[in-house]
Amino acid sequence: MKKVSVIVPCYNESEVLPAFYESMTDIINKCAEYEFELLFVNDGSRDSTLSIVEDFAKKDSRVKFISFSRNFGKEAAMLAGLEHCTGDFAGFIDADLQHSPDLIPEMIKAVDEEGYDVAACKRVDREGESKIKSFLSAGFYKVINRISETYIDEGAQDFRIMKRSVVEAILSMPESNRFTKGIFSWVGFNTKWFPHENRERAAGTTKWSIRKLLKYAIDGIIGYTMTPLKIPTYCGILSLVLGFIYGLSVLVMLAVKGHTFYLGDRAVLTAVLLVGGMILLCIGIAGEYMARIYTEVKNRPKYLIAKTNCEKNKIK
Ligand code: UDP
Ligand code: MG
């Protein structure tokens, strides 16, 4: 029997966990042809999340849990889940019932029978989300997709089920600043998208503060683009070009007007533009090397194989 691991990151979710467990078990009880593992990752909750999960585990052998020593963030919880799950397929679902468990059987079918590597949900609307959050997040995706080498889909959600080969691919990325949305796109693989409507949280409140979202956005931009490091180069080139043009115009004026032309400030401005430009360009060059070093230390795999018939390192 094939096994499906469903990873549930939880941070202060005691209010919603009983309802979540009920809906989830309702669905998985109906999928009798698969074995399930419900892996709760308690991300340092300060409420009774852990004891609730332990109670589930006592009465249901499918329930496994990992409990962090403090709050490490959803990204860390997802990573721990992937590292500890044992299924042939593994996926994530939020604990707040914003992700509908009813979709799980279809998602499993997509990866097990229809030949997809990943079944993932895509948000079709932003119903129920604050205007300001929608606005900021739309802006973020516009910026990141303009400058990033990896396309990051705005609507793509963490709610997904993947084959073991995809799980291994994600785990082969050793970076410690983990921006999961970027990682999902970066590893690629054949994905079936399920349109998914935004739903209200069943209980409790969102765990994302503006500070956490900002950190998330910065992690995304720094982790998936080298463009910020190129800014000094562009500014430097601009300043040098302006300096040359301005200097040239000053020289022309000097030639035309002779010593009736007052040189003072103009010479200083030319020098500022030229020297400033050279300094910025040097910083930019150092930035280019830093970008290369950054890529090397991230130590991402050079490629990922989705399928092969070579015997060595064969992926199931
Ligand atoms: N979560 C977590 N650690 C955190 C923040 C959130 O494990 O530091 C979990 C949370 O318990 C939930 C999921 O991540 O299961 C999504 O969080 P939330 O619903 O608060 O985010 P939103 O849906 O508002 O974007
Ligand atoms: Mg939520």
At 113-130, the pLDDT tens digits run 998 999 999 988 777 677
Residue 105 in contact with residue 27, Cβ under 8 Å? yes
Among 15, 50, 78, 96, the mutation site with the greatest number of ligand 1 atoms within 8 A of its Cβ is 96
**DSSP per-residue string spanning 225-286:** --HHHHHHHHHHHHHHHHHHHHHHHHHHHHHHHGGGS--HHHHHHHHHHHHHHHHHHHHHHH
d(Cα 209, Cα 128) in Å, to the nearest integer?
17
Query: What is the predicted pLDDT for the residue at 216?
Result: 84
Measured in Å, residue 244 CA sits from the centre of ligand 2 at: 55
Q: Is the confidence at residue 282, as pLDDT, over 70?
A: yes
State how many domains the chain has.
2
Question: Is there a single domain that holds both residue 78 and residue 221?
Answer: yes
* CA–CA distance, 245 with 264 (Å, rounded to integer): 17
Distance 96 CA to ligand 2 centre (A): 6
Distance CA 123, CA 195 (A): 6
In percent, how much of the chain has pLDDT > 70? Answer: 95
- For ligand 1, say whether the CB of 95 is within 6 Å of any of its atoms: yes
Q: Are residues 143 and 278 in the same domain?
A: no
Domain range for 130? 3-225+301-308
Asked if 254 and 124 sit in the same domain, the reply is no
Higher local confidence (pLDDT), 178 or 22: 22
Average pLDDT over residues 252-277: 86
Contact 225, 147 (CB under 8 A): yes
Whether residue 132 sits in one domain with residue 257: no
- Give the lowest-confidence range in 226-230, 254-258, 286-290, 310-314: 310-314
Query: What is the distance in A from the centroid of ligand 1 to the CA of 10?
Result: 7
Cα–ligand 1 centroid distance for 73 (angstroms) = 8
Distance of CA 310 to the CA centre of its chain: 32
Q: Which ligand is nearest to the CA of 11?
A: 1
**Quick one: 207 and 245 in the same domain?**
no
Q: Which residue has the tokens 């399928």?
A: 307
Q: Is 54 inside any structural domain? A: yes
Per-residue pLDDT tens digits for 127-151: 767 788 788 888 888 888 888 888 8
Residue whose CA is at the smallest distance from ligand 1 atom 13: 94
Q: Are residues 220 and 192 in the same domain?
A: yes
For 8-42, the DSSP string reads: EEESS-TTTHHHHHHHHHHHHHH-TTEEEEEEEEE
Query: How far, in Å, CA of 278 to CA of 23, rounded?
Result: 63
Give the three-state DSSP class for 80. helix
Nearest CA to ligand 1 atom 8: 73
- Is pLDDT at 313 greater than 60 in this prediction? no
- Residue 236 Cα to ligand 2 middle (Å): 44
Q: Are 154 and 118 in contact (CB under 8 A)?
A: no
Please indicate, yes or no, if residue 75 is contained in any of the structural domains: yes
Q: Tokens standing for 45?
A: 């909750």
How many other CB atoms are there within 10 angstroms of residue 267's CB atom?
A: 13
Measured from the CB, is residue 130 less than 6 Å from ligand 1?
A: no
Structure tokens of 130? 């604050």
Q: What is the pLDDT of residue 304?
A: 67
Helix (H, G, I), strand (E, B) or coil at 307: coil
- Protein residue closest via CA to atom 19 of ligand 1: 206
187 and 275 share a domain? Answer: no
Using a 6 Å cutoff on CB, does residue 71 contact ligand 1? yes
Point out the least confidently predicted range of 12-16, 260-264, 296-300. Answer: 260-264
Which ligand approaches the C-alpha of residue 9 most closely?
1
Spatial separation of the C-alpha atoms in residues 179 and 177, rounded to whole Å: 6
Residue 307: its pLDDT value, please? 62
- CB of 75 closer than 6 angstroms to any ligand 1 atom: no
Beta strands, E only, 63-150 = 63-67, 89-92, 118-123
Q: Are 205 and 273 contained in the same domain?
A: no
Q: What angle do CA 49, 56, 65 make, to 5 degrees?
A: 65
Whether the CB of 43 sits within 6 Å of ligand 1: yes
State in Å: Cα 80 to ligand 1 middle. 15
80 lines ligand 1 (CB under 6 A): no
Is 10 near ligand 1, meaning CB less than 6 Å away?
yes
- On whether both 156 and 264 belong to a single domain, the answer is no
**For residues 97-105, average pLDDT:** 90
Q: Indicate the SS3 state at residue 107.
A: helix
pLDDT tens-digit readout, 155-194? 888 999 999 999 999 999 888 778 888 899 989 899 999 9
Same domain, 88 and 100: yes
Whether 37 maps to a domain, the answer reads yes
**Whose CA is closest to 124, among 103, 108, 95, 151?**
103
The answer as to whether 35 is a domain residue is yes
Atom number, ligand 1, closest to the C-alpha of residue 12: 11
Tell me, using a 6 A CB cutoff, whether residue 13 lines ligand 1: yes
11 CA closest ligand 1 atom index: 11
Centre of ligand 1 to C-alpha 8, Å, is: 10
Same domain flag for 261 and 214 = no
Q: Based on the domain organization, do 221 and 231 belong to the same domain?
A: no
Mean model confidence pLDDT for the chain: 87
Q: Are 118 and 192 in contact (CB under 8 A)?
A: yes
- Burial category of 19 from C-beta neighbours within 10 Å (exposed 0-12, middle 13-18, buried 19 and up): middle
Cβ distance 3 to 88 under 8 Å? yes
Q: Does residue 145 form part of some domain?
A: yes
The bound ligand whose nearest atom lies closest to the alpha carbon of 17 is: 1
Q: Is 15 in the pocket of ligand 1 (CB under 6 A)?
A: no
Residue 56: which CATH number? 3.90.550.10
